A and B are shown apart, each in its own frame.
Chain A
Amino acid sequence: QQIQEEMNKQLFDSLVNFLRRSHSEFQEKATEWTCQMKSREIPTAALILGVNVTDHDLTFKSLSELIQNNITPYVASLQAKDCPGIKNLMQKLMGQLMNCYVDVDSLDEEDCAQVSQNKIRCSMTSLISWYENITKKTDFETPSRKRTSSRHLQSPPVVVIFKDMESFTTKVLQDFIVISSQHIRELPLILIFGIATSPMIIHSLLPHSVSSLLCIELFQSLSCKEHLSTIIDKLLLTTQFAFKLSEKVLQVLINIFLYHDFSVQNFIKGFQLCIVEHFYSQPLSVLCCQLLEAKKRVNALSHSQCENIRRLPSFRRYVESQESEKQIALLTSDNFLKEAVQKLLEDLHVYHENYVPVLRCLHVFTSSLPKYPLGKQIRELHCACLESRVWESEDYESSLQLARMLNKSDLVTMLQKCMEIFVSSSGKEFDKVVEKLKDFLAQFQKPEGACQEQEESVSSQKELQKKTDLYHLQKTLLELKESRRSKKLTKFEILRFEVVDFIDSLVRNYLVPADHKTLHEIMYFNTASTLREHLNAAPRIALHTALNNPYCYLKNQALKSDGGSISNKAPDICIVYKLHLECGRLINLVDWLEAFSTVVMAVEGPNGDAAVSDQVDDIIHARFIRAVSELELLGFIKPSKQKTDHVARLTWGGC
């Protein structure tokens, strides 16, 4: 659990870092821009953030932090729900500004400011006087205040952030803008609008007379998809985290992201949930950590944990592939098992180390192909690789075909990129690969020169080639070339084939899907269904199945039925629900009760005792009342005044 908390922390750190990075650009722009705001208009930044509303909070938080640190201490961020009227808006604004002011010059003489905050009439004039007060003070005490003097400008502007501009009432916004534009000389104000839809919204919200008071500059934040790919890059495609997602889980998460909310935060939440689930449900997840740590832990495994390992399907497969003595040793001796597990874990680690660079390399190749047979984003490629042997898929075939038709410059740049990837990666096995790539590159450079020389003297070229030909491969190439000297491009073509085949061999070697690896269960979280259940639940469906088909939950033979109908022994509410499905918009309670009692009586059997039946009738009546009020609670019906003793149905069709 500790590990998992650590990982959570790391996760968040990376996210925050990322956000910070994405905002540095706004930052820079904002700084230059504060200098030029001497005009009559209010400088305004419109920040287009996209529809992933839930991420905005984080964005704004880091943004205001940044501004606070670098430009001005006076930042106020307003949300529409706090400001139903101009008065509330001013109140909120002043409160925030004054509080942050208090923060800056911690506990000076500012008690009075805080107290008065509630009492003073919140108006622009008071705001201005406050501001003048402060700036004066800052001027006086410049030396004493390092922050304000050194980093902030002479008269720091007041930044007001409107987090969700669309949900503000237009009236409030207009008033605020008009008022503040009149005081712009005394109070350097900057507005930042957070916009979720499109920049047009400013003009539709504000009339021309108002929007002309603004000097709007537009900023586009990174799209949420880019956020996502950075996060996937940082979290999944590294060897830093031992924890991995299997293909299905990743697919679920991405689908939720793409089809439901575009929210990076939710994606992270899903990822966290995966971690929690994994560590909670998989007893062997103790081994899911850095390699060295894991080795230590392997040594400390108890017998029962060893048994757990033996029970893993992937491990069983591994055992079966061994010789018989080894099999016995693996199955009986814990120590032997531990050694084997250590070795396997190391293998797995190496596999991961190799997997990522090769994946990136393949992505470099495939992402520039026309029509993107293997997907545009690296995550798609990742999914494809995890899902099955990627080289067996048709898409892979076609992408290789396309790769064989690349032109030279593209190929060279790709190779260079791949080189970089491999060089930067830590895998030990890649030295050879790098060499090979270098060689390819060199060869690509050469033919050009060679061709030119060819015309001058064939022999010199031959010599040249012989000198540099260090590899067997080149010799064959040379032979080929000699045999078909008439076609000068052939050499390039052959080289191209070579390159593609080389990449292919890399893929075959390193991009084996993870489920083929022994002990993958330790690292990979695999139960996509639980994830979907908890993140993307369908309460209506659950209710519907429970009502329609109680057998799903209550495993009683009496309830078993096929087709649409349910048995008469079902719980009361199911029967009542069934009967209500048969009605139109209004339901007569009496008829309903009668139908219900007929159904229920049939169960009880024809024990037609007159004395008893009266009693029974009351009970049935009570049961009916209960069932109906339960249905009301669930929202299927509501009482209706249209006719006496009638209820209205609230659902139509489905559930």
Chain B
Amino acid sequence: MSQHGARGGAALEVKFVPDEAVLKHIAEDAAFKVRKDKPQLAVSVKGFVKTLENISDNEAQEILEEKSYVAALGIRAQDSMGNGSGVGGGEVYTFQTPKRSGKMAELASELARTPGQSEAVDCAECPEKTVKTPQSSSKCFGEVKLSGWGKKNEFVSTTPYRLRRRLAGPDTPLESESEYSASCSEGEEEEQKESSTAETVQKTPAKTKAASTPLPKKSLSKKMKEDKMSNPVEEYFEAHSSSKVLTSDRTLQKLQKRRLNQETLRDLLKKAPFPFAAEIKELNEEHESLFSKWMLQLHLGFNIVLYGLGSKRDLLEKFRISMLQESVHLVVNGYFPSITVRSILNSVTEEVLEHTGTFRSPLDQLEFIMKRFKEDSSLELYVVIHNLDSQMLRGERSQQILAQLSSLPRIYLIASIDHINAPLMWDQAKLSLYNWLWYETTTFSPYVEETSYENSLLVQQSGSLALSSLTHVLRSLTPNARGIFRLLAQYQLENKDNPSYPGLSFQDFYQHCREAFLVNSDLTLRAQLTEFRDHKLIRTKRAADGVEYVLIPVDDSTLTDFLEKEDEDV
């Protein structure tokens, strides 16, 4: 075992040099980084193996995945043969691999390290076992360390012992719970109820830290692990069972990176290299060769749906330009956030059928369209829908209407879908109305247009918008009103660590304002609040006991920014 350990340690040292260099490069303290990476990894690896299993379960026909699954199995078997005996060093070694989490992919490129890749698959089992071994032992013996851990010390010397202990049990929320103040999330998941009783059993020993428990606990948890490994459902609940999530508390705020808005983002992306242009072009050409086939099939009463990774917008545009120039066609940008079925139907009736008039409901409109198309056999319409599965169009009713529209014999629909669950929005009846032919068109081209409207995730963007509107509104207010708002903002920031902070109650607010000589009666405060509310600066809600609470519906970071700016102004 020691031999193994030595070998593992030696190998590790060599490999970790670049790693640490990278870490320095990021200019973050290494310990922090390491801590962050570890928990991610252990989960990741599990997820990965499960990926393979799942796929082979679900889609037996899909040869590709199956192959890789078989390969993975083979590798795993091989590996366990190779270092199965070396409980200490050999497995600590595999444990180390995951630690580099984010960099696994990076290192994978170095072809020389083929074993490394196999570990990625293999470590699913091993790390959990090894993780357990050192962890429980470290609890028992305090300072006494296993040889494997000693080896590790050489290069993780910056990591304090306490931290490493955290690392030891990253994949189970239960162990960490005892030591780490995992960031609390407010929303209690339903799944909590589902959390198996076994887990609570486990929890107690972990919390009591009784010296006598480690042995049984170890075996129990090991068994548990293996059970979970076999069952992806279990694993889902394991991940969702606890509202405590182990992620680091860092925010983009601390990164000191300026926020990007849409334009700068686009400019920057233009500068970014565009890899594999040749290959992507080849792919596209392959798809383009299908255009005439699509036309034929559209005319034969099928509708075409495109799926696959990458924006299919350009492809459809090309199709439109090359095939549909002479015919009446309608392009629907489904990704546009304000698109509705009604607007689609309107454009059909107004632009194509040249009907002026309104309809009581989309159903009436649809009926009208159907009637017109039945009567007039010269009418033909091509409908191109980008992102049929977008937020606005994915509703049941809109899909029903679109399906009925597409089932008309002289309306030809060609659409694209992107969401992984998009096929779920169609039931049998809709599917038969749509009469789809599926085409896989993986283009790998970036979703430029499609994501440009997606402002929800680009925290950078939405934040700046809220901030600017805040300052803009406040600038037009009286100093007193600004003071009132500041007071509320400060109070809210003071309470930002309290997840169940309901807001500032009106009475307290009034007291504070009076003390600061901002208002002289609660009527003036109320008037002021009404004005705030009209500008959507605050939200009031009544609690169960009838007390009114006032809250600023803006996230804390923006609020902090705002206050800083205000201070500068003053």
**A370 near B: Cβ within 8 Å?**
no
**B451 near A: Cβ within 8 Å?**
yes
Q: How far is the CA of A533 from the CA of B436 in the complex (A)?
A: 12
Please give, as numbers and ranges, the residues of chain A lying within 8 Å of B525 by CB-CB distance: none
Interface centre among B105, B271, B419, by most A CB within 10 Å? B105
Please give, as numbers and ranges, the residues of chain B lying within 8 Å of A569 by CB-CB distance: 109, 275
Given known contacts A54-B429, A266-B432, A643-B183, A586 and B247 CB-to-CB distance under 8 angstroms: yes
Q: What's the minimum C-beta distance from B100 to chain A, rounded to whole angstroms? A: 9
Please give, as numbers and ranges, the residues of chain B lying within 8 Å of A563 by CB-CB distance: 68, 71-72, 75, 108, 114, 117-118, 120-121
Please state if B41 and A564 are interface contacts (CB–CB under 8 Å): no
**B422 near A: Cβ within 8 Å?**
yes
**A552 near B: Cβ within 8 Å?**
yes
| 0 or 1 for each of B433-453: is its CB under 8 Å from A? (1 = yes) | 001011110101011001100
Q: How far is the CA of A5 from the CA of B307 in the complex (A)?
A: 28
Q: How far is the CA of A248 from the CA of B440 in the complex (A)?
A: 21
Q: What's the minimum C-beta distance from B453 to chain A, rounded to whole angstroms? A: 10
Q: Is the interface of A mostly helix, strand, loop or mixed?
A: helix
**B302 near A: Cβ within 8 Å?**
yes
Please state if A583 and B40 are interface contacts (CB–CB under 8 Å): yes
**B47 near A: Cβ within 8 Å?**
yes
Q: How far is the CA of A499 from the CA of B354 in the complex (A)?
A: 74
Please state if B40 and A568 are interface contacts (CB–CB under 8 Å): no
Please give, as numbers and ranges, the residues of chain B lying within 8 Å of A629 by CB-CB distance: 447, 451, 454, 457-458
Please give, as numbers and ranges, the residues of chain B lying within 8 Å of A642 by CB-CB distance: 185-187, 245
Tell me the nearest residue of chain B to A561, going by C-beta: B108
**B36 near A: Cβ within 8 Å?**
yes
Please state if A644 and B557 are interface contacts (CB–CB under 8 Å): yes
Given known contacts A550-B444, A632-B457, A655 and B55 CB-to-CB distance under 8 angstroms: yes
Please state if A564 and B418 are interface contacts (CB–CB under 8 Å): no
Given known contacts A569-B109, A628-B457, A280 and B296 CB-to-CB distance under 8 angstroms: yes
Please give, as numbers and ranges, the residues of chain A lying within 8 Å of B423 by CB-CB distance: 539
Given known contacts A555-B279, A594-B102, A623-B269, A652 and B235 CB-to-CB distance under 8 angstroms: yes
Q: How far is the CA of A563 from the CA of B450 in the complex (A)?
A: 32
Q: How far is the CA of A643 from the CA of B249 in the complex (A)?
A: 8
Given known contacts A534-B439, A602-B22, A629-B458, A273 and B302 CB-to-CB distance under 8 angstroms: yes
Please give, as numbers and ranges, the residues of chain B lying within 8 Å of A622 by CB-CB distance: 260, 264-265, 268-269, 272
Please give, as numbers and ranges, the residues of chain A lying within 8 Å of B473 by CB-CB distance: none
**B460 near A: Cβ within 8 Å?**
yes
| 0 or 1 for each of A305-338: is its CB under 8 Å from B? (1 = yes) | 0000000000000000000000000000000000
| 0 or 1 for each of B94-111: is its CB under 8 Å from A? (1 = yes) | 000000011111101100
- Residues facing B in A560-599 (CB within 8 A) are 561-571, 573, 575, 578-579, 581-591, 593-599
- Among the listed A537, A562, A593, which residue makes an inter-chain contact with B307, where contact means beta carbons less than 8 Å apart? A537
Please give, as numbers and ranges, the residues of chain B lying within 8 Å of A552 by CB-CB distance: 64
**A96 near B: Cβ within 8 Å?**
no
Please give, as numbers and ranges, the residues of chain B lying within 8 Å of A541 by CB-CB distance: 55, 59, 62, 65
Q: How far is the CA of A53 from the CA of B278 in the complex (A)?
A: 46
Tell me the nearest residue of chain A to B293, going by C-beta: A280
Q: How far is the CA of A636 from the CA of B297 in the complex (A)?
A: 32
Q: How far is the CA of A5 from the CA of B299 in the complex (A)?
A: 11
Interface residues in A, total, Cβ within 8 A: 108
**A276 near B: Cβ within 8 Å?**
yes
**B45 near A: Cβ within 8 Å?**
yes
**B310 near A: Cβ within 8 Å?**
yes
Q: How far is the CA of A54 from the CA of B245 in the complex (A)?
A: 45
Tell me the nearest residue of chain A to B302, going by C-beta: A273
Please state if B246 and A654 are interface contacts (CB–CB under 8 Å): no
Q: How far is the CA of A543 from the CA of B68 in the complex (A)?
A: 16
Given A53-B429, A562-B117, A568-B108, 18 further pairs, Cβ under 8 A: A8-B300, A54-B429, A54-B432, A276-B300, A545-B64, A553-B279, A556-B276, A563-B75, A585-B240, A587-B247, A595-B101, A622-B268, A625-B260, A633-B419, A643-B245, A645-B250, A653-B232, A654-B232
A-B residue pairs in contact (CB < 8 Å), sample of 26:
A5-B300, A54-B432, A541-B55, A550-B444, A553-B283, A554-B444, A556-B276, A564-B120, A565-B105, A566-B105, A581-B48, A582-B101, A585-B245, A598-B25, A602-B103, A622-B260, A626-B451, A632-B456, A633-B450, A635-B420, A642-B187, A642-B245, A643-B185, A645-B251, A651-B420, A652-B232
List residues of chain B with CB under 8 Å of any chain A CB. 22, 25-26, 28, 33, 36-37, 39-41, 43-45, 47-48, 50-52, 54-55, 58-59, 61-62, 64-65, 68, 71-72, 75, 101-106, 108-109, 114, 117-118, 120-121, 183, 185-187, 232, 235-236, 239-240, 245-255, 257, 260, 264-265, 268-269, 271-272, 275-276, 278-280, 282-283, 293, 296-297, 300-302, 307-310, 335, 363, 400, 417-423, 428-429, 431-432, 435, 437-440, 442, 444, 446-447, 450-451, 454, 456-460, 555-557
